[in-house]
Structure 1
């Protein structure tokens, strides 16, 4: 049984060695498909022990992924990006692969800059990254594995810093262009609409983000792996777009289904705080207590990293900070 760490890369000199060093102990082969680097990425990859081949960028991530899989020619592939690295659990890879064909979903910790808080925050997602020979990708961007094989969570944790401001700026225009091509071809594809919402939200284009998220939500079943993240992002974007009442109404309808999500109650608390700003007459007696109650519910639930798109701290210190801030303001007002 052979396992290859399989990458596509372009201009990743900043982080390619970190990635390859993190996976080397757990695989038989390191394979990098370079799509046009000009910063020395191929040379750094070779120095780290990788086989490197070249491929003209096809404006389609799945085409590049599938080419890399074919050339790496392994029984199993750990699909990883250069701006990612194994944080923990690498030793689980080989015994997991030895027990039969299926798809492995690993936890990715995405670091991003929270400029309002002046801190780095981590959101978490589960992504299919361990695939057997014969599995293939589809989709120009935010590509997905197209396979009928069962998907299982595998406790391998990857760190990812490609969403930090300095790195994200170079990717947004490219991703949006590819997603718009996809939606033009498949206008009813709810996953592409969801990803277009993510792109718009990343630019603080909240009105447009709401449009894409609402289109996606109308067609996405609650069983979809991305449903939780989609709902939380839509609630946040509705608040940022000034549609606080729409957000609260949507939240009311989802309360039962989301009763164990700290992310849900965290964002609903934020919506209640926004409503307090718009309705000062009822702020002290209704909206601020509701916000605090929501954040207290976050603490009761605790952290839930298994939820798609969960943000670290919403079940702990971020919720407590909001509670302390509001209570301090109320104390100053003698309430």
Structure 2
């Protein structure tokens, strides 16, 4: 028996999509409401979920553990309201929970709209074992309890499913802004850090948050502290190096950025999780005129994930500088096929098409780029239109 377990607050907009994605895959749905003032509990009940209530304590682990109390199934699938289960993963998921030795099955989550890493590995499918509990007030996870359990009961194993299992929409800019996610995360993690100053995991998460918020020096200090921790999980080690790479890019210290991105690519974790490190490494190499090395980094990223549109775009940029214009055109077109709203890809496709003499095709690409820019970046649309007029084109 498989149980969905989720905690919610004011999720009437996203919850129907989440529950629709799992209603035919699970045997029961447990929804713990932490203080909704909208129709969230009512919607959950309409989907057949059992709804319980819990007073919010600024601690995600406490809420998730409260939800676990009501689960009756042998296995637990944890989703948030801004996540959906992909339909193609369901047969694999069903097969995985039938394996007698599996204790936890890690799932690949795609971060839809994320600026950084497009994939993460999350421990969201696990046995209903009394020793498995969530820890940490933010980014709550069962990993700490699982490590302790495996030491006592070594017959268990941790597996993973290689295909994307969860689509997460919470990192889209409008979702972050609407829920003050950065502020909530920072407050919770700073409180935890005060009690656990050398915890590599919280150093990684909070350090990355500082970097993203523009507090680079504070972020670097915390990320470097994480690298000095006595015990570092491979996934955390990757994140520490990856976010240090980002920080040093912001500081224009490209040799250090390159070092940390390269270190991130060498960590022995699931290859898809290293996609952003390869892509960012390529960007640093390209900016440092190491074009062949940049090309190799982008090609490695595309070998890992042939559907990675930014990889094709960046490869196209590199091929353009190398003078391989027809190959650059092909790379931009692949990026556009994967992401039809990729304004920058259309814009640079227009540039290369014009260089090789395909004027009408070029103007069509520029027109599409302008239309897309007008939706999200009107100033760039105006700049591009003005530049074309100065060249004698009225687009």
Check whether TM > 0.5. yes
Which piece of structure 1 moves more, 181-190 or 197-206?
Answer: 197-206
Return the alpha-carbon distance in structure 2 between the equivalents of residues 164 and 229 of structure 1: 20
Return the alpha-carbon distance in structure 1 between the equivalents of residues 187 and 200 of structure 2: 17
Structure 2 equivalent of residue 143 of structure 1: 140
8 Å CA contact 1:111–1:123 kept in 2: the answer is yes
Q: 1:198 aligns with which of 179, 202, 208?
A: 208
Q: In the superposition, relative to structure 1, how do residues 204 and 303 fare at CA in structure 2: closer, same or farther (>3 Å)?
A: farther
SS in 1 for 2:242: helix
Question: What displacement does 1:256 show?
Answer: 6.1
Q: In the superposition, relative to structure 1, how do residues 110 and 220 fare at CA in structure 2: closer, same or farther (>3 Å)?
A: farther
1:14 aligns with 2:13: yes
Structure 2 equivalent of residue 271 of structure 1: 284
Q: 1:181 aligns with which of 186, 191, 206?
A: 191
Which piece of structure 1 moves more, 149-158 or 216-225?
Answer: 216-225
The size of the alignment, in residue pairs, is 305
Structure 1 equivalent of residue 33 of structure 2: 34
Give matches, 1:287-298, under 5 Å: 287-288=288-289, 290-298=290-298
Question: What displacement does 1:97 show?
Answer: 1.6
Question: What displacement does 1:301 show?
Answer: 5.5
8 Å CA contact 1:207–1:241 kept in 2: the answer is no
Which piece of structure 1 moves more, 223-232 or 180-189?
Answer: 223-232
Return the alpha-carbon distance in structure 1 between the equivalents of residues 174 and 261 of structure 2: 33
Alignment RMSD (CA, Å): 2.9
1:73 aligns with 2:86: no
Structure 1 equivalent of residue 120 of structure 2: 125
Question: What displacement does 1:33 show?
Answer: 0.1
1:209 aligns with 2:216: no
Structure 1 equivalent of residue 105 of structure 2: 104
SS in 1 for 2:112: strand
Question: What displacement does 1:34 show?
Answer: 0.4
- Structure label with greater radius of gyration: 2
Structure 1 equivalent of residue 90 of structure 2: 90
Q: Which has the higher contact order (CA 8 A, sep 6+)?
A: 1
SS in 2 for 1:158: strand
Structure 2 equivalent of residue 283 of structure 1: none
Return the alpha-carbon distance in structure 2 between the equivalents of residues 213 and 19 of structure 1: 34
Q: In the superposition, relative to structure 1, how do residues 55 and 301 fare at CA in structure 2: closer, same or farther (>3 Å)?
A: closer
Structure 1 equivalent of residue 251 of structure 2: 241
SS in 1 for 2:167: strand
Return the alpha-carbon distance in structure 2 between the equivalents of residues 184 and 244 of structure 1: 32
Return the alpha-carbon distance in structure 2 between the equivalents of residues 99 and 112 of structure 1: 34
Return the alpha-carbon distance in structure 2 between the equivalents of residues 233 and 325 of structure 1: 29
Give matches, 1:164-175, under 5 Å: 164-169=172-177, 170=179, 171-175=181-185
- Segments of structure 2 that go 5 or more residues without pairing to the other structure are 151-155, 326-350, 353-395
Question: What displacement does 1:69 show?
Answer: 0.7
1:251-290 Cα deviation digits (max 9, x unpaired): 56677668x855434323322445xxxxxxxxxxxx31x1
Structure 2 equivalent of residue 278 of structure 1: none
Return the alpha-carbon distance in structure 2 between the equivalents of residues 29 and 249 of structure 1: 48
8 Å CA contact 1:303–1:312 kept in 2: the answer is no
Return the alpha-carbon distance in structure 2 between the equivalents of residues 36 and 256 of structure 1: 44
1:277-328 Cα deviation digits (max 9, x unpaired): xxxxxxxxxx31x1442233331463436xxxxx9446x4143133145346
Name the one with the larger helix percent: 2
Q: In the superposition, relative to structure 1, how do residues 151 and 17 fare at CA in structure 2: closer, same or farther (>3 Å)?
A: same
Question: What displacement does 1:152 show?
Answer: 0.7
Question: What displacement does 1:103 show?
Answer: 0.3
